[in-house]
Structure 1
Amino acid sequence: MDEKMSKVDPKLLDLLVCPLTKGTLSLDRERNELVSERARLAYPIRDGIPIMLVSEARKIED
């Protein structure tokens, strides 16, 4: 695992949902993000903490 990437508690990941759609999220380990396919947003993980703010999310382009 890359030194910059911080491990997120898997139990926490099971509980988190997209704040916009309330849908499920998938972990993108390569980019260190939680991805909402439905909302087309990727939420960053910083220092092991998911930043679940729509304003902080990256829009996923086709």
Structure 2
Amino acid sequence: MPLEAGLLEILACPACHAPLRDETSADTPELVCTSQDCGLAYPVRDEIPVLLVDEARRPA
């Protein structure tokens, strides 16, 4: 189930404060930072975004 649109509008990347975009797929639900310099991908577990830099996936 995707995140509510209102929630996504108020969330920001904890590392750089840029907006996040929903990159949810069947296998890996994630919120990805829109900043070109940062680009961290935060996991969504049980429909709850885990916005911890230590839990984020670095861009490839």
TM-score range, shorter chain: 0.7 to 0.9
Corresponding residue for 1:3? none
Which protein shows a greater Rg?
1
Q: CA RMSD in A?
A: 1.2
Correspondence 1:28 to 2:28: no
Q: Name the SS for the 2:8 alignment partner.
A: helix
Gaps of 5+ in 1: 1-5
Letter in 1 for 2:18: G
TM-score calculated relative to the size of structure 2 = 0.82
How many residues were matched structurally?
56
Letter in 2 for 1:32: P
Which 4+ residue blocks in structure 1 deviate beyond 3 angstroms? Answer: none
Gaps of 5+ in 2: none
- Post-superposition offset of 1:49: 0.5
